Amino acid sequence: MAKSSSFLLFLLLLSLVVAPSIAADPDMLQDICVADLSSGTKLNGFACKANVTEDDFFFKGLAMPGATNNTLGSLVTGANVEKIPGLNTLGVSMSRIDYAPGGLNPPHTHPRATEIVFVLEGSLDVGFITGANKLVMKTITKGEVFVFPRGLVHFQKNNGYGPAAVIAAFNSQLPGTQSIAVTLFGSTPPVPNVVLTKAFQIGTKEVEKIKSRLAPKKT
């Protein structure tokens, strides 16, 4: 009996030591990571620099409203690891989103993060769609908070007559953004028309018209 108990205790301790390292892969911080098999450095994210300053942890870009005089009437200003190097490996970031009257932050997803927004000013219609195709939607105003679960399609629209703004927080240093319309109709190389016509039940002319508006501008 003593031997059996000792063996079970050994297995328990072994599982506690080994399980954390084999339970799951770490969350991705970028869409792709092509391996350099000749490199001895293994990482998921960004390599670390030697010389650190206070400016690596500072960003003032969210202090002022962004320009919303564009087609959608909205502007997203990110405060992620690309703007704040000190966020590397910390798993958090922020954005400011400004909306003109009637402005829209169109349907999109963040493949690597859940998002929570805090309304600075104005009134917004916000919502997300679940995997069961259920729309969860609410009107939120100054001082209120709403959450968009990771990876789900969501949107925000200014439903007022004045400007609106939110601060968004993410549990990723680089959450990534995929705008549904731009992803499908503005990709490079383009998604074949036959895929889009069948998926959206529209004609080729309509597909080409949308693509012409959303295709990347040539420089």
Each residue's pLDDT tens digit, 24-74: 456 666 565 545 556 566 666 777 777 888 898 999 999 999 999 999 999
DSSP class of 47 = P
- What pLDDT is stored for residue 4 in this prediction? 59
Q: Are 185 and 207 in contact (CB under 8 A)?
A: yes
CATH 2.60.120.10 in the chain: give the residue spans: 56-176
Shortest CA distance to 150 belongs to which of 27, 44, 26, 14?
27
Phi/psi at 198 (5° precision): -75, -40
pLDDT tens, residue by residue, 75-101: 999 999 899 988 888 889 999 999 999
The pLDDT value given to residue 16: 47
Split at pLDDT 50, 70, 90, the class of 23 is very low
The CATH number that domain 56-176 falls under is 2.60.120.10
List Cα–Cα distances, 215 to 50, 207, 209, in angstroms. Answer: 40, 11, 10
Tens digits of residue pLDDT in 129-185 = 999 999 999 999 999 999 999 999 999 999 999 999 999 999 998 999 999 999 999
- Interior CA angle at 54 toward 60 and 47, to 5°? 100
d(CA 67, CA 171): 26
Q: How are beta strands 104-109 and 154-158 bridged, if at all?
A: antiparallel
Helix ranges, 98-187 (H)? 180-185
Mean pLDDT of 113-129: 97
Output the pLDDT for position 8: 56
DSSP label of 85: G
Residue 2, token pair as written in the block: 């003593």
Mean pLDDT of 2-21: 52
